[in-house]
Chain A
């Protein structure tokens, strides 16, 4: 199962949960599971970058996950 690390700033919306395991083939299904579990985070998801197994993606929705993938939700960054 993939492990998702949630921003600590979301703990109010997740009841204090900052780390959760989810079985999902792609980021798309993973985010759907997350928002089903924590509906209050849905509005935050358009303001995150997603890192999968160490790589930060822009628009990660259909990135394939491995069984032991690590996913981090981060503030978006692009640069100047």
Chain B
């Protein structure tokens, strides 16, 4: 497929989403809404220590309680060495399995060590409290510096550094290290007129999805199991659970429920295999629902980081050299997005000389999971802060400096491949022409600007489009809808078949009904699954041509398609009136049977995408509190299928990035327990904290996609950390290099600067 120049009848419009009424009235069924006859309730026993050897587990008191039907420990889920190919490193199911329930060591505060199923939540929790675990407490490793120090306590005795270790390969807490290089940075720096080097730190933060993890598992006596779960990846749940439990994936069906946010945090499994084993043991369905406290302590936040960046430029603003040293916390197991951070940190610019090294470091904190452009926001915080400083020092407009060095089509990305058509310069141009940028900043306010990059994913997708005899259609895919993709798919079918959107029924199918489909993540669904939907709809069109040919008793080459009608071609049956889609659909049975279109593809990545943000920040220098007074997000989306939901992605990503910049952080005590595991003290922005975030959609079509779609959902979280920090610099004169810019930190910085 390739992009086709055309005007659209449905793509680009803003119909009401098909799932909207159910969601705003509470009728939509999420993971915790599923209830089955005879269902039990699961609770997890969690380690009170951040690092400890498990000496023994006595479940007898728990098992003896009335109402308790099953108790499991790590012995019930054997360790596995299986891997599941899925994006950022094959998912190492050994680590995921050990993260589900500890086998030999508890590696973070909250690490599951046992689980109970009982006839009520209350009994399950009481039983969990009666499980006796004997620990040998070990020294926790709670920071990158502690983890890489000589003589550091080692989390995994068998860990060696994958890639290019800087020192001895093992045993170590450095799970992986990679390098990227081009040219000769030392020579480049020698030619620079200005060199700026800083070290930056960002904290561990959580995706903050509003819906906690929840599932119901039912293991049948025939060995077949069904799992209802809130997930971004039903096939990951199926195949991962099967591999971890050592059973045939064909015996598990996963039914995804509606999902209340994921952002990457619901791609892996935390509950489902445990619920399956409990159900198998108890011979009854088991429901497991996390509390918010458990979500914070024991799911997958994103890495805290320590990043040092050095950039050299000529006096005319040309960047001549750059280096970056990035350390990302993986949490208790390998898997930090350090590789992506390395590939993204200079991706906005064409830099002739650079050296980048990036390390994935394990610490006694929860195992990190993907969070919206994993790895990129932290790296952008570092790079864009330094770009801002260079612009100030040279007296250059920050957008002009970026335009001078912006990556364009044909440039090699820092990770190697040459860019196709990309939209960074269009985004920067839109930013400098925007009224926000043109308007003077207000009193006690500062203005910040930053840009950011994300790859966006392709991967495997399947789609089915069925046409009913009344001319309506249904579209089935295997992707849970976290961003309005169902209505986007309906728009694509409407565009291809000229059926009104309201007469198209988009459905998220379970793993038995849908063809294999990779996760809802990586900004891939509207792009890759959308391509499958378009192809399936075009398959329907071809079948309609064949059916019309049968009706007209002519060859299919004499039948054309025009605006939802089948028309005679080549003079064959010139006296025939065109047939509408509905007329042909009504004859489906007589012309060969139901009309079902299908498609499946493994698509190359969605095309690099860039965004730029502008933030006006008002800072109260007496309290350190800051208020975002105006915020604009500009982004190249390729083609906006449903502009309202594209804008929503841009606003949502910006809001999350603002929270990351201003307030959010995991606060740990000395023993490694999280101290702020709730929304009161883990302070995310709420609607009253932020102004309306203005959005500008730039469309530089992606040549791979027939409509030009690029991935949208992840780019908007990349610029805000630096945008806000640069606004803070503008407002206060102080360059903050550590997030969040919470009032205590800002106040301390202002006082240190003598303000």
Contact = CB atoms under 8 A, between A and B. Distances in A.
Interface of A: 5, 7-12, 44, 46-47, 51, 53-59, 70, 72, 74-80
B602 A12 contact: no
B590 interface: no
- Name B's interface SS: loop
Given A8-B164, A51-B417, A70-B417, A80 B522 contact: yes
B455 A77 contact: yes
Contacts, number: 129
A80 B370 contact: yes
A9 B87 contact: no
A20 to B, nearest CB: 14
A76 B460 contact: no
A47 B460 CA distance: 18
Given A78-B457, A79-B87, 5 more contacts: A7-B163, A55-B704, A76-B88, A76-B339, A79-B714
Interface string B500-520: 000000000000000000110
A7 B178 contact: yes
A71 B402 CA distance: 29
A76 B604 CA distance: 13
Interface of B: 83, 85-90, 162-164, 177-181, 207, 262-265, 267, 339-340, 342-343, 369-374, 415-420, 454-460, 518-519, 521-524, 602, 604-605, 704, 711, 714
A72 B181 contact: no
A8 B180 contact: yes
B83 A72 contact: no
A12 B164 contact: yes
Contacts of B87: 58, 76-79
Contacts of A80: 207, 262-265, 267, 369-374, 521-522, 714
Contact of B602 (A8, A54, A58, A70): A58
Contact of B343 (A9, A77, A79): A77
Contacts of B460: 58-59
CB-CB nearest 5 A-B residue pairs: A80-B264, A78-B87, A79-B522, A75-B339, A80-B370
Contact of A59 (B267, B374, B602): B602
B343 A57 contact: no
> Residue among B164, B207, B416, B419 with the most chain A CB within 10 A?
B416
Contacts of B90: 46-47, 76
Given A70-B417, A75-B340, A58 B371 contact: no
Contact of A55 (B180, B181, B604): B604
A50 B90 CA distance: 14
Contact of B339 (A11, A72, A77, A79): A77
A72 B457 contact: no
A59 to B, nearest CB: 6
A70 B415 CA distance: 13
Contacts of A11: 164
